[in-house]
């Protein structure tokens, strides 16, 4: 049975990917420092698949801990989710973001090289495109100067990986997520925002649940059909499945080059108001909201051109916005 290390494997996308890896017969090792999740997620994963992943409470900023892990554990692939990911927070705490997101990545790649481990999947983001000049966005769209230290760590991370694949046997795939959302159908795992949610859908869900009084819609004067900003909301389970396909591509050596990038989205854009209306339709719940000024740093619109992932990976998002929003609500109902 092939062994896969999933860093950040108790997080939102990480936990859903661990479930899909186990469903596909992989043995999973998880490293997570619990900085943005809780240990209960480990039991929830186990209750879904019946298999308990091997868990290591390691902080990847600790180079010796990373060295020790790889000296003691041989794996067939690494899927690297662990990173700080709050855009606004990264503006306030750049050094913590560069230390955590870049430092950890370098330590992992160093130990993979030392131990001759060569299959690496990197969690990247459509944020690297900024406001793309053309929509939908292809992998060939220019990388724009990052709007935040968080976005910069994704751009720099991809460069570090690309440079490393040129001079080692490392084979890597960077997956650029659009807007991950939704939850597993079991409603046992989902997005666990700590504190006030920064992202739209957790805020919508918490407003419907009465936890938040009112949703602020950031901007209604964008050049879009209804004036609110457009994003590509991809179901987290579709996203998780893409990681398994990308991993198999590396293990089976079907990758066309040492470093590949794929956009992971549905290919469809939805505005903030469309998300609210769709949520109310599928759940029957009301969402109180008000239109306010734009949020600093936000772009007008982003949605993926999915042809490359469809053709090369043979992957296509199967779940739409309705399913994503309903699953997010069902997950929220378990939290109350
Ligand atoms: C979506 C839309 C907001 C909250 C970011 C990162 C990206 C990824 C996903 C980590 C925007 C609007 C939001 C609210 C609102 N993060 N909004 N009221 O900014 O597209 O992407 O999160 O991987 O890398 O850049 O996602 O969910 O914050 O916002 O009106 O209370 O909802 O203005 O138009 P975003 P988001």
CB-based contact 90:84 (threshold 8 Å): yes
Mean pLDDT of the chain: 97
Question: Which DSSP symbol is given to 240?
Answer: H
In CATH, 3-181+234-266 is 3.40.50.720: yes
Provide the β-strand partners of residue 29.
5, 54
ipTM reported for the complex, 2 dp: 0.97
Q: Would you state the pLDDT for residue 336?
A: 78
Q: What is the mean pLDDT of residues 289-302?
A: 96
For ligand 1, mutation pick of 132, 266, 272, 278 (most atoms within 8 Å of CB): 272
CB 49 less than 6 A from any atom of ligand 1 = no
The domain ranges of the chain are 3-181+234-266
Distance CA 109, CA 224 (A): 42
Residues 232-248 have pLDDT tens digits of: 999 999 999 999 999 99
Distance CA 232, CA 306 (A): 11
Helix 272-283 / helix 200-208 crossing angle, nearest 10 deg: 40
For the CA of 295, the closest atom of ligand 1 is 33
CB 200 less than 6 A from any atom of ligand 1 = yes
CB-based contact 150:144 (threshold 8 Å): no
Beta 171-177 vs 259-264: how paired, if at all? parallel
Residue 250, classed as helix, strand or coil, is: helix
CA of 211 to the centre of ligand 1 (A): 19
For ligand 1, mutation pick of 295, 296, 300 (most atoms within 8 Å of CB): 295
Nearest-CA residue for atom 9 of ligand 1: 179
Q: Kindly list the catalytic residues.
A: 150
Residues 95-136 have pLDDT tens digits of: 999 999 999 999 999 999 999 999 999 999 999 999 999 999
CB 203 less than 6 A from any atom of ligand 1 = yes
Distance CA 177, CA 171 (A): 20
The answer to whether the predicted template modeling score (pTM) of the entire model surpasses 0.95 is yes
């Amino acid at each position: 049975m092939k062994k896969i290390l999933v860093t950040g494997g108790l997080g939102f996308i990480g936990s859903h990917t661990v479930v899909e890896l186990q469903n596909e017969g992989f043995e999973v090792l998880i490293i997570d420092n619990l900085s943005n999740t809780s240990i209960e997620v480990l039991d929830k994963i186990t209750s879904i698949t019946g298999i308990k992943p091997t868990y290591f409470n390691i902080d990847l900023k600790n180079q010796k801990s990373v060295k020790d892990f790889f000296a003691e554990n041989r794996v067939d692939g690494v899927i690297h989710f662990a990173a700080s990911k709050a855009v606004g927070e990264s503006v306030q705490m750049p050094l913590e973001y560069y230390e955590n997101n870049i430092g950890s990545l370098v330590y992992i790649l160093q130990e993979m090289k030392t131990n001759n481990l060569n299959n690496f999947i990197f969690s990247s983001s459509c944020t690297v495109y900024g406001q793309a000049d053309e929509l939908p966005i292809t992998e060939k769209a220019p990388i724009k100067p990052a709007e935040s230290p968080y976005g910069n760590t994704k751009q720099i991370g991809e460069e570090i990986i690309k440079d490393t694949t040129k001079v080692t046997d490392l084979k890597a795939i960077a997956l650029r997520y659009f807007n991950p959302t939704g939850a597993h159908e079991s409603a046992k795992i989902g997005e666990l925002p700590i504190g006030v949610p920064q992202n739209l859908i957790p805020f919508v869900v918490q407003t419907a649940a009465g936890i938040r009084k009112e949703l602020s819609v950031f901007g209604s004067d964008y050049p879009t059909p209804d004036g609110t900003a457009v994003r590509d909301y991809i179901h987290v389970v579709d996203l998780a499945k893409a990681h398994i396909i990308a991993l198999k591509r590396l293990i089976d050596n079907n990758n066309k080059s040492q470093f590949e990038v794929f956009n992971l989205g549905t290919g469809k854009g939805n505005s903030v108001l469309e998300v609210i209306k769709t949520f109310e339709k599928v759940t029957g719940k009301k969402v109180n909201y008000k239109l306010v000024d734009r949020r600093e740093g936000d772009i007008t619109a982003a949605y993926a051109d999915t042809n490359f992932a469809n053709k090369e990976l043979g992957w296509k998002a199967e779940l739409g916005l309705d399913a994503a929003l309903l699953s997010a609500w069902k997950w929220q109902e378990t939290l109350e």
